[in-house]
Amino acid sequence: MSTEELISIEPRELQLPFELRKQISCSLQLTNKTDKYVAFKVKTTNPKKYCVRPNTGIVLPNSRSDVIVTMQAQKESPPDMQCKDKFLIQSVVANSWATTKDITAEMFNKESGNQIEEYKLRVVYVPPQRYPSPVREGSEEGSSPRASLSDNGTMHHFENTAASKEQLDESQEHLSELKSLISKVTAEKISAIQQTRKLSLELELLRRQSNKNRSGLSILHVILIGLLGLLLGYFLKRT
């Protein structure tokens, strides 16, 4: 049986842009060009190093299923950037009512008499893709270059994503400063309003106290005049 009779697989090798301490993912497309339901299973020689989602599934007739392979972050580079890991994709005809929950290990057992197709994929490490940064016009000679020439003659530039992250950090910092300034101005405004109200109350109390004192002095003045009049009349009568 031809290895592509049930499903075709693209790409034919797993190309991973290797970078230290970084998770790397790539996708596989499993295409079913038949009128049958096809169950598949993905195996690897290094299961602790890779995460496959989904590692089993059903490809509907004349349909495609995508599989994501993720390599865990690596702390060391392999010798000569060569990888010995391999993947095995098995496929078998399934019942038309079958779902992923109906897939069992027995379905991929050759001893049970099932006709199983197998396709092997090797893992290849490729250089990570780099994006050139724009060159400013009128730059002077002798200034520090933003890119360096590698041994194979290619230029390594800063990635656009790094520049975008730097701009985002600056925007967030300006936003934080603006929020702090708004909070400070608002607090000062509230304090000024409270001080104004307090001064207004104190002025009103002073005005009332002043009016009260003036009223008290007027009554006292009348009483004193009356007493003086009585005393004067008393002395006049005695004389």
User: What is residue 237's predicted lDDT score, i.e. its pLDDT?
Assistant: 67
Alpha-carbon torsion, ordered 192, 196, 202, 208, to 10 deg: -170
Find the helix or strand (DSSP H, E) in which 218 lies.
helix 160-238
Q: Nearest-5° angle of CA 20, CA 25, CA 26? A: 130
pLDDT in tens, 56-68: 999 999 999 999 9
Summarised one tens digit per residue, pLDDT across range 83-94 is 999 999 999 999
Q: What tens digit of pLDDT does each residue of 120-162 get?
A: 999 999 988 776 655 554 444 444 444 433 444 433 443 444 4
Whose tokens are 């060009």? That residue is 33
pTM: 0.53
Q: Is pLDDT above 70 for 217? A: no
On whether the CB atoms of residues 49 and 158 are closer than 8 A, the answer is no
